[in-house]
Amino acid sequence: MSLEQLANPAPESPTQGNSIEATLRRPAPRIRRKPPQICDSCGRVFTRRCDLKKHAKTHERAFKCTAAGCDRTQGFGLQKDLRRHIDTIHRKSTFTCDYPNCRQTFSRSDNCQRHFEEQHSN
């Protein structure tokens, strides 16, 4: 027995063994379990990340009402909510010129008053 044989006791040649293993043990298609998408703010669980992202926006309240004199400082999670707020709150407080047959509308009473003075006061 030579020293070389003792140092390499493997019966198969390493290259051959590797190629056989590579073909036999094909990497099984690993079903990667996606971690559940959990909302940090309320703990709701979503299966899809895009759903969580969409939901998270409702906590961000990124849509803020910019109407002058609006006392709603919180903002809205969805743009449609903001739009509804504007429709219900600010459309209601529209100021209409009282001058006969004018009926111009204004979002602020002072604008309406100024209009009245400028257009109808003489």
List interacting residues with Zn ion (CB under 5 A): 39, 41-42, 44, 65, 67, 70, 72, 97, 99, 102, 104
Q: Return the C-alpha torsion angle 52, 55, 56, 59, nearest 10.
A: -160
- In the bound state with Zn ion, the residue whose beta carbon lies nearer, of 19 and 104, is 104
Write down the least CB distance from residue 82 to Zn ion, Å: 8
Write down the least CB distance from residue 59 to Zn ion, Å: 5
Write down the least CB distance from residue 104 to Zn ion, Å: 5
- In the bound state with Zn ion, the residue whose beta carbon lies nearer, of 19 and 94, is 94
- In the bound state with Zn ion, the residue whose beta carbon lies nearer, of 18 and 59, is 59
- In the bound state with Zn ion, the residue whose beta carbon lies nearer, of 20 and 83, is 83
What is d(CA 50, CA 116) in angstroms, rounded to the nearest whole number?
51
